[in-house]
C-alpha cells in the first residue's frame, strides 16, 4: 500500500523535479532585476486582491444563505457555486471586451452621454475583480460547509449574552469558521497563481510573464525555471495553510446534539438586499460574462462538426482524467495515513502556474515519447500522457475530498477487518473504499470540471488532430476573434454546469443529523 502511494506521489512530483532540474542547467537570461521585482510584486498584489475579494464575497454569501431566509434562498444556496462552471479565461474574454474603451458599451455611452466608464478591465484591479468573481465559489462552498456545521449552542450562548446578529457573526461564527476561510481563500489564490490565459489576456504582467520571456525570448530554460521556483515555494506555503486549515476545522464539541440552525427570517428591505446581493454575485460571476459571450457570438456561424468533435474530446479527457486522478489520489490518501508528507508534496502541482507546469511536464513527456513507437504521434501514448498531466496538476483537488471520505473510516473498523483475516489491501478494498465511495465520486466530479477547463497541459501535450473546446477558444482569442471564441467557451460552460450543479446541491444538504 505504501509502495503504491509513494509511486502515486512520484507521478505527481515528477514535473516539479523537471522544473528544478531545468533551473540548475544552462545559461541564464538577461532580465533586469527591476523587472523581476515588478512581476513578483504584481503576482503578490493580484493574489492579495483575489484573496480579499473572494474572502469577503464568499463569506457574506455563505452567511446569508445558511443563517437566513429570504426570497430565492433555496435556489441561491446551490446556484452561487455555478460560476465554477465558467473558465476564468472565458470570464476574462467577456469582461475585457465588454468594458473595452472602444467596445460597444463605452462607444454607446460616449455617443449617448459623452462619457466613458472610468475603469479598465485590462489592469491589475480588473484582473483581481475578474478572478475574484471566477473563484469566489471556493470560499463560498468552504464557508457554507463551515457555517452549516456550526454548533448551535455557541451561537445561542452569544445571542443570550446580548450579542446582536452581526456581532454573533463577527465574533463567534467567523472565528469558528476561520480554518475554512483560510482553506477556501488558499484554493482561490492557488488557482490565481496557476491561471493560464486570463491574466496574460488582460495584459497583467506577473511572474508567469517573466517565465515566458526568459524561456522563449531569451531562450533560457534555466532562468525560466529559476523564476518558477518562488512560485513553487508560494504553492507549497498555500498548501500548508490549506491543510492546516483543515486540520483545525473541527472546533466542535463532540457531545453536543445536532439541532437545526437558528435561521433568521429577513423581511422587507433587508430581505431584498440579501436577494440583490446573491443575484449580483451570480450575475457578475456567470450570467453577465456568459450572456455577453452569447450576445457577441450570435452573428457567428459556428463550425459545428469541429465543435462537436472537440466537445467529445473534452468530455473523454474529463472522464478519463477524473478516473485516473481519483485512483491515484485514493492510493495516495490510503498511503498518506502513514506518510503524511507525500500527500502534501504531491499536491503542489495544483498551484503551479500553467507555464511552469508545461516546463516540468516535458521531462516525463520526453521519456514517454522516446520509448513508445511513433513517438508523440502515438495517439494512445499521447492521451495517456494527457491523463497523467491532469493527475499531476489536479492531485490536490481530488485529494481533499478523498481524504475527507477516508477519514470517516475509523481505525477500529480497519482493525476489525484485519482481525477477521483481511490483508491490508483487502481491508482497503472491502471496507475503506466502499465507505468512502461517495467522497470518491465527489472528487471525480471536481476533477472532471477542472479538466474540462484545462488549457496549458492540453495545449502542449495533445496528440495530432486533437482539439478540446478550451484549445479552440484560446486559438480564436489569440487571433483576436472574440466572437468566435464565444461558442466553444459557451459549450464548455454548458458541459460543466450539470456536474457543478450536482456538486453544489449535494454539498448543500450535508448538515450532520439533518436529512
Partner 1 sequence: MTLRRTLMACMAALALPLAACGDQSDAAKKDGASGERVLNLYTARHYDGDLQVYAAFEKATGIRVNRIEGNPDQLIARMQAEGAASPADVFITADAGALWRAQDAGLLQPITSEVLTSAIPAALREPEGHFFGTSRRARVVAYDSTKVRPEEVDTYEELASPRFRGKLCVRSSDSVYNLSLVGALLEAWGPEKTKAWVEGVVANMARPPEGGDRDQIRAVGAGVCEVAITNSYYFIRMDRSTDPADVALTDKVKLGFPSLNGQGAHVNVSGGGVARNAPHRAEAIAFLEFLASPEAQVLNSEQNNEFPAAVGVQAPAGVREFESFTANPMNVSVYGRRQAEAQSIMSAAGWR
Side-chain-side CA neighbours of residue 476 (13 Å):
23
- The 281-310 contact track toward partner 1, x by CB under 8 A, reads ------------------x---x-------
Please list every residue from 76 through 135 that binds partner 1, using CB under 8 A.
96, 100-104, 106-107, 110, 116, 120, 122-123
Identify which of residues 181 and 406 has a Cβ nearer to partner 1 in the complex.
406
Counting other chains too, the contacts that 428-433 makes at CB distance below 8 Å and 24 or more residues apart are: 428/1, 428/334, 432/334, 432/406, 433/330
Contacts of 184 (CB under 8 A, 6+ apart): 54, 55, 58, 138, 139, 140, 141, 142, 143
Q: In angstroms, what is the minimal distance from the CB of 236 to partner 1?
A: 25
Please give the residues from 433 up to 472 whose contact with partner 1 meets the rule CB under 8 A: 433-434, 437, 440-441, 444, 459-467, 471
Q: Pick from 41, 256, 366, 420: which binds partner 1 (CB under 8 A)?
A: 366
Q: Name the residue nearer to partner 1 (CB basis): 43 or 209.
A: 209
Q: How far is CA 318 from CA 128, 469, 501, in A?
A: 28, 12, 17
Of 226, 378, 442, 489, the one binding partner 1 (CB under 8 A) is 378
Contact between 475 and partner 1 (CB under 8 A)? yes
The nearest distance, CB 26 to partner 1, in angstroms, is 12
Compute the distance between CA of residue 28 and CA of residue 25 in angstroms, rounded to an integer.
9
Near partner 1 by CB under 8 A: residue from 252, 374, 419, 498: 374
Among 479, 498, 509, 510, binds partner 1 (CB under 8 A): 479
**What would the grid cell of residue 271 be?**
430581505
How far apart CA 469 and CA 484 sit, in angstroms, is: 12
- Indicate the length of the chain as a whole number: 515
Burial class (CB in 10 A: 0-12, 13-18, 19+), 18: buried
> In the complex with partner 1, which residue's Cβ is closer, 368 or 497?
368
Helix (H) / strand (E) containing 69: strand 68-69
Q: Which residues contact residue 459 at a Cβ distance below 8 angstroms, ignoring those fewer than 6 apart?
A: 358, 471, 474
Interface region with partner 1, contact rule CB under 8 A, candidates 26-34, 45-53, 170-178, 251-259: 26-34
For residue 372, what is its C-alpha cell?
513508445
When the beta carbons of 186 and 225 are compared against partner 1, the nearer one is 225
How many residues bind partner 1 (CB under 8 A)? The answer is: 79
The minimum distance between CB 300 and partner 1, in angstroms, equals 11
> Looking only at residues 227 through 266 of this chain, which bind partner 1 when binding is defined by CB under 8 A?
none
Answer yes or no whether residue 212 interacts with partner 1 by CB under 8 A: yes
Instruction: Look at phi and psi of residue 303 and say left if phi exceeds 0, alpha if psi is from -120 to 50, else beta.
Output: beta
* Closest approach of partner 1 to the CB of residue 451, in Å: 12
Give the N- to C-terminal CA distance of the chain in Å, as an integer.
36
Pick 276 or 362: Cβ nearer partner 1: 362
> Out of 48, 175, 219, 252, which residue is the one contacting partner 1 (CB under 8 A)?
219
Amino acid at each position: 500500500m505504501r509502495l503504491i502511494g509513494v509511486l502515486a506521489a512520484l507521478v505527481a512530483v515528477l514535473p516539479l523535479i523537471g522544473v528544478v532540474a531545468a533551473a540548475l542547467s544552462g545559461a541564464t537570461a538577461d532580465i533586469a532585476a527591476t523587472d523581476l521585482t515588478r512581476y513578483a510584486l504584481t503576482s503578490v498584489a493580484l493574489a492579495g486582491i483575489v484573496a480579499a475579494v473572494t474572502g469577503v464575497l464568499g463569506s457574506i454569501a455563505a452567511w446569508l444563505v445558511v443563517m437566513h431566509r429570504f426570497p430565492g434562498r433555496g435556489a441561491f444556496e446551490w446556484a452561487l457555486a455555478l460560476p465554477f462552471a465558467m473558465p476564468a479565461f472565458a470570464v476574462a474574454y467577456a469582461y475585457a471586451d465588454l468594458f473595452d474603451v472602444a467596445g460597444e458599451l463605452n462607444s454607446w455611452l460616449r455617443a449617448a452621454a459623452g462619457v466613458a466608464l472610468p475603469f479598465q478591465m485590462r489592469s491589475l484591479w480588473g484582473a483581481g475583480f475578474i478572478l475574484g468573481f471566477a473563484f469566489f465559489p471556493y470560499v463560498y462552498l468552504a464557508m457554507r460547509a463551515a457555517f452549516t456545521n456550526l454548533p448551535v449552542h455557541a451561537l445561542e450562548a452569544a445571542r443570550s449574552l446580548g450579542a446582536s446578529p452581526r456581532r454573533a457573526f463577527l465574533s463567534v461564527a467567523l472565528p469558528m469558521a476561520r480554518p475554512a476561510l483560510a482553506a477556501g481563500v488558499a484554493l482561490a489564490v492557488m488557482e490565481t497563481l496557476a491561471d493560464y490565459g486570463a491574466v496574460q489576456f488582460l495584459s497583467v504582467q506577473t511572474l508567469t510573464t517573466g517565465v515566458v520571456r526568459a524561456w522563449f525570448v531569451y531562450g533560457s530554460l534555466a532562468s525560466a525555471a529559476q523564476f518558477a521556483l518562488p512560485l513553487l515555494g508560494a504553492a507549497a506555503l498555500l498548501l500548508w495553510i490549506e491543510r492546516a486549515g483543515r486540520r483545525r476545522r473541527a472546533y466542535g464539541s463532540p457531545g453536543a446534539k445536532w439541532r437545526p440552525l437558528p435561521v433568521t427570517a429577513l423581511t422587507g428591505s433587508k430581505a431584498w438586499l440579501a436577494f440583490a446581493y446573491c443575484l449580483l454575485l451570480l450575475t457578475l460571476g456567470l450570467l453577465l460574462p456568459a450572456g455577453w459571450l452569447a450576445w457577441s457570438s450570435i452573428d457567428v456561424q459556428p463550425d459545428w462538426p469541429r465543435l462537436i468533435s472537440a466537445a467529445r474530446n473534452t468530455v473523454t479527457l474529463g472522464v478519463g482524467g477524473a478516473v485516473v486522478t481519483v485512483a491515484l489520489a485514493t492510493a495516495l490518501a490510503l498511503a498518506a495515513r502513514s506518510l503524511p508528507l507525500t500527500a502534501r508534496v504531491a499536491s503542489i502541482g495544483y498551484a503551479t502556474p500553467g507555464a511552469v507546469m508545461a516546463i516540468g511536464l516535458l521531462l516525463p513527456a520526453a521519456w514517454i515519447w522516446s520509448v513508445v513507437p511513433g513517438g508523440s504521434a502515438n495517439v494512445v501514448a499521447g492521451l495517456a500522457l494527457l491523463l497523467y498531466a491532469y493527475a499531476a496538476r489536479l492531485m490536490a483537488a481530488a485529494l481533499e475530498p478523498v481524504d475527507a471520505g477516508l477519514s470517516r473510516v475509523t481505525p477500529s473498523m480497519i482493525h476489525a477487518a484485519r482481525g477477521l483475516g483481511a490483508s491490508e489491501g483487502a481491508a482497503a478494498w472491502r471496507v475503506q473504499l466502499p465507505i468512502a465511495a461517495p467522497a470518491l465520486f465527489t472528487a471525480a466530479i471536481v476533477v472532471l470540471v477542472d479538466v474540462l477547463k484545462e488549457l496549458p497541459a492540453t495545449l502542449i501535450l495533445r496528440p495530432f488532430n486533437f482539439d478540446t473546446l478550451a484549445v479552440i477558444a484560446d486559438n480564436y482569442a489569440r487571433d483576436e476573434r472574440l466572437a468566435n471564441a464565444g461558442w466553444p467557451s459557451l459549450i464548455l460552460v454548458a458541459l460543466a454546469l450539470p456536474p457543478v450543479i450536482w456538486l453544489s446541491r449535494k454539498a448543500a444538504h450535508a448538515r450532520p443529523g439533518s436529512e
